[in-house]
Amino acid sequence: MQSLTTPLFLIFALAVIGYYLAKSRAMQVAGGDIRGLVSLPHQHALNTALATVVPPTAAVLLFALYGRFADTGPSWLFTLVIMGLGVTGFALSLIGIKTNSRARIFAERWILGLLIFASSIAVMTTIGIVFSMLFETFNFFGQYDWRDFFFSLTWSPNFRGNSDLGIIPLLWGTLYVSFIALVFAVPVGLFAAIYLSEYASPRMRSIAKPAIEVLAGIPTIVYGLFALITVGPLLRDYFAEPMGLGQSASSVMTAGLVMGIMLIPFVSSLSDDIINAVPQAMRDGSLGLGATPSETIRQVVIPAALPGIVGAILLAASRAIGETMIVVLGAGAAARLSLNPFEAMTTVTVKIVSQLTGDTDFASPETLVAFALGLTLFVITLGLNVFALYIVRKYREQYE
C-alpha cells in the first residue's frame, strides 16, 4: 500500500514555490518595469501554481473514480506519473514566462475549469445517487413482482420470506401526514409572513423574524420528542378518547401537527422575503384608490407574490415528505390504511430505516425494498420540484 499523501503534499509545496518563483521571474523578465509585461506578475504566478497542482490532482481523482486503488492502492508508477505531471506543469509554465506571454488568459482558463468542476460535482452526485438506487431497485424487482409492490394494499415484511411489500399503505401515511402538516403550516406561516412584512414595525420585525427562524434550527429529533411526550398524549386525552377515535398516543395527527410547526419558518421566512420584494408602487397604487390595507394585501400583494409563495409551499411539501424522525416518534411504525387521523400510521422514510437496520445482507427483497421505496420517494419529490418550477415560470411570464 502506497499512500498518495506525501506526493500530493509535495506537489502543493511545489505550487507554492512556483507561485513566488514565477512572480519574481516575471519581474526579472520585465527588467523591473511591469508596464513592459503583457500579463502582470501575479497572473504568471497564479498560472504556474495552478498548472502545477491541477493536472496531478485531476489524475488522482479520475483514478479514484474508476476504482483503481480499491485493493492495492496506487502503484509506484502512478505516483511517479503524477509527480511528473506536477513538475512538468511547474517547469513549462516557468520557462514560458516572457514579456509577451499571455498568462492572464491561461490563468482565467484554469479558474474557469475549476468553477465548472465544482458545479459538475453537484450534478454528478445527483446522477450517482439515482444510479445507485436504480441498480438496487432493479435487483429488488428481480426478486419481487413490481405489481405487488405498487398495488398491494398490505405491508408486512417477514424476514423468513413470504413478505407482503406493498407501498400503498406507506405512501398513504406519507401523504396523510404531509397533508396535515401543510394544512397547519401554510396558513400559519403565510399569515405570519403577512404580519411581519406588512404590519409589523421595524422593531417588532427585527425581534419576531429571528425568533420564528429559531424553529428552523431545532433538530427534527427534538421535534419528535416534543411529539412523543407532549402533543401525542395531549391529543389522545383531549380529542381522540373523548371522541372515541382511538387510544393511541402515536397518531397521524400528532406527527402532522408537529411537522407543521417545523415547517412554519420555511413558509413564513420565504414568503416574507417574497412579499417584501413586491414593489411599494403596487401598494401605493392600491391604497391610493381607497383600498384598505387588507384589501391591498389580498388583491394586489399576494397575487403579485403568488409564484414565489407557491414555490415556498412546495419546498415545504418536499421537506414534509422526506421527514423521518418526527414520524417515528409521533406517528409510530405500524403500516396501516385508514382515514382516522388519530390512528398510528407510518411513512415511507420510516420503513426505509427499519428495513435497513439490524443484521441483514443486501440480497433479500426485505432489505432491497428500501431502495425501491427511496427511489419512489425521490421521483415524487422531483416531480413536486418540477411542478413548482413550472408554476413559478408560468405566473412569472404573466406578471412580468
Partner 1 sequence: MEDMIHMDRAMSTQQDIKISARNVQVYYGDTHAIKDVSVEIDDKTVTAFIGPSGCGKSTFLRCINRMNDTIDIARVTGDIRIDNEDIYDPKVDPVQLRAKVGMVFQKPNPFPKSIYDNVAYGPKIHGLARNKADLDEIVEKSLRKAALWNEAKDRLDAPGTGLSGGQQQRLCIARAIATAPEVLLMDEPCSALDPIATAQVEELIDELRQSFSVVIVTHSMQQAARVSQKTAFFHLGNLVEYDDTDKIFTNPQDPRTESYISGRIG
> Is residue 234 close enough to count as binding partner 1 by CB under 8 A?
no
**391 lies in the binding site for partner 1 (CB under 8 A):** no
Nearest CB to partner 1, comparing residues 96 and 303: 303
290 binds partner 1 (CB under 8 A): yes
The SS3 of residue 72 is coil
Q: Is 100 in the site for partner 1 (CB under 8 A)?
A: no
How near is the Cβ of 149 to partner 1 at its closest, in Å? 45
Half-sphere exposure of 330 (CA within 13 A, CB side): 33
Q: Of residues 79, 248, 286, 349, which one binds partner 1 by CB under 8 A?
A: 286
Tell the smallest beta-carbon distance from residue 207 to partner 1 (Å).
17
- Please choose, from the candidates 388, 11, 370, the residue with its C-alpha nearest in 3D space to the C-alpha of residue 155: 370
CA dihedral 3, 4, 7, 12 (to 10 degrees): -140
Q: Does the protein bind partner 1 through residue 122 (CB under 8 A)?
A: no
Q: In the bound complex, what is the minimum distance in angstroms from residue 253's beta carbon to partner 1? A: 38
Told to check if 203 binds partner 1 by CB under 8 A, we report no
By CB under 8 A, name the one of 142, 281, 339, 359 that touches partner 1: 281
Interface positions, 10-69, toward partner 1 (CB under 8 A): none
CB 311 within 8 A of CB 391: yes
Distance CA(120)–CA(115), nearest Å, equals 9
Stretch that binds partner 1, among 95-103, 174-182, 238-246, 284-292 (CB under 8 A): 284-292
Give the Cα separation of 198 and 286 in Å (integer). Answer: 14
The DSSP symbol for 34 reads G
Binding test (CB under 8 A) with partner 1, winner from 279, 363, 389, 393? 279
CA atoms within 13 Å, Cβ hemisphere of 356:
14
**How far, in Å, CA of 361 to CA of 220, rounded?**
29
Interacting residues with partner 1 (CB under 8 A): 201, 279, 281-292, 295, 299-300, 303-304, 398-400
